[in-house]
Amino acid sequence: MTLSTPRDVRLLDQGLSVGEALAAFNAAHGEAGGIVSFLGKVRPEGDVKALELAHYEPLTLPGMRELTEEAFERFSLDGALVWHRVGTMTPGDTIVLVAAAARHRRNAFEAADFLMDHLKSAAWFWKRERRSDGWHWIEPRGQDHADLARWK
Piece in contact with another protein (CB under 8 A), picked from 13-21, 24-32, 74-82, 123-131 = 123-131
Does 149 help bind another protein (rule: CB under 8 A)?
no
Does 51 help bind another protein (rule: CB under 8 A)?
no
Does 53 help bind another protein (rule: CB under 8 A)?
yes
Does 123 help bind another protein (rule: CB under 8 A)?
yes
Helix ranges, the chain (H): 18-28, 57-74, 105-121, 142-149
Does 76 help bind another protein (rule: CB under 8 A)?
no
Which residues does 37 contact at the CB level (< 8 Å), separation at least 6? 22, 25, 81, 97, 98, 99, 100, 112
Task: Return d(Cα 67, Cα 117) in angstroms, integer.
Answer: 11
Beta carbon of residue 103, minimum distance to another protein (angstroms, whole number)? 27
Does 100 help bind another protein (rule: CB under 8 A)?
no
Four-residue CA torsion sign, 58, 122, 10, 126 = negative
Q: What are the C-alpha distances in Å from 141 to residues 6, 14, 144?
A: 32, 26, 5
Beta carbon of residue 149, minimum distance to another protein (angstroms, whole number)? 14
Applying CB under 8 A, the residues found at the interface with another protein are: 40, 53-54, 56, 58-59, 84, 95-96, 116, 119-128, 137-140, 144
